[in-house]
Amino acid sequence: MSPTEVLRGNASILLPNVQDADGKIYTCSVLHSPDREEKTIELRVDAPPLVKLGSTKVQLNKLNTIACTATDFYPGNISMTWFRNDKIVQGPERPPIQPSTGQLFRAESFLKLVPEFSDAKANFSCHINHQAFKGPEAPQFQLSLQARPNLQLITRPQGEKFVAALCNVSEFYPSHVNIQWLKNGEPQEQVKSEVYRMHNGMFYINSVFFPKKSDVEVTYACRVEHEALETSLEKSVLWRPEAKNNSVMGTSDEKKHLQKKDEEKLLDTSKPRPEETRSELIPTEELDNVQEQRL
């Protein structure tokens, strides 16, 4: 206390660097003879949690985990509850308490779920109860649904002397996807279909490539980029030329005839049946009716 302030009627006590031991009942006693007056006050030492959510990007129809972390709180008594549209889906629970900065604590709770399309617009929240809050702290979020694409590479005819190749990309979500054909690592022109929605809510797309005549072996690759992938997805195939006196390319007219014929075959592939809902690659003979457009 400051003697000067006491003479002015201010007997406040300053507690620098408050510690747990400072949490006590304090009494202020004023004596003015012959009168005496006392007041008591309880000092409660607490620190509200800092709340942080982990990534809310989740894979459709797969087991996912979302973290809710509370840090730098005191005392260590805390509980966490997960809600979906105001209904409890997990908890309440008292997670293990770990030491944090100084005498403060941290704790984590993990929501485990297998998301479906019906969860896309649902409001989720992590409710945290702690004595430093007047009510529960409840940061809300919505799930960012994703599904990793499957990649299937088909050649016509089969083998190393094909005249056309199809890149079938299926079972991905959301719909935006980037497909690129590469010749020995160099980007190539392609024929690509529109993106179609499957019966199970996922998407698929086809991309067709026609190799040019060459006297040397060439590696062709189909590369797929999608937000659900950490790195691009890629499959490759080796093209090997025929001997010059028996080239698969033949004359210009023969080449056009072969290319047109195989283009029609390839562009009639990869559309799943309306009732198809399984997450598996579609056999080539079961694919039909894909409308194509040239880039």
Identify the residue with better confidence: 255 or 108.
108
Q: How many CB atoms lie within 10 A of CB 187?
A: 10
Give pTM, 2 decimals.
0.67
The Cα–Cα gap between 1 and 236 comes to 80
Q: Average pLDDT of 241-247?
A: 59
Split at pLDDT 50, 70, 90, the class of 212 is confident
Instruction: Tell me the sheet residues that pair with 28.
Output: 39
Instruction: Name which of 209, 204, 195 is nearest 166 in CA terms.
Output: 209
Strand 150-156 versus strand 292-294 pairing type: unpaired
Tens digits of residue pLDDT in 117-172: 999 999 999 999 999 988 778 889 999 999 999 999 999 888 888 888 999 999 99
Distance of CA 251 to the CA centre of its chain: 51
Q: How many residues does the chain have?
A: 295
Distance of CA 182 to the CA centre of its chain: 28
CATH numbers and ranges of domains, the chain: 9-42 (no CATH), 50-146 (2.60.40.10), 150-239 (2.60.40.10)
The residues near 252 (Cβ < 8 Å, ≥ 6 apart) are none
Instruction: Name which of 171, 204, 173, 200 is nearest 271 in CA terms.
Output: 204
pLDDT over threshold 50, residue 104 = yes
User: Which pLDDT score, from 0 to 100, does residue 267 have?
Assistant: 53
Backbone angles phi, psi at 274, to 5 degrees: -55, -30
The Cα–Cα gap between 260 and 16 comes to 85
Tens digits of residue pLDDT in 38-87: 888 877 778 999 999 999 999 999 999 999 999 999 999 999 999 999 99
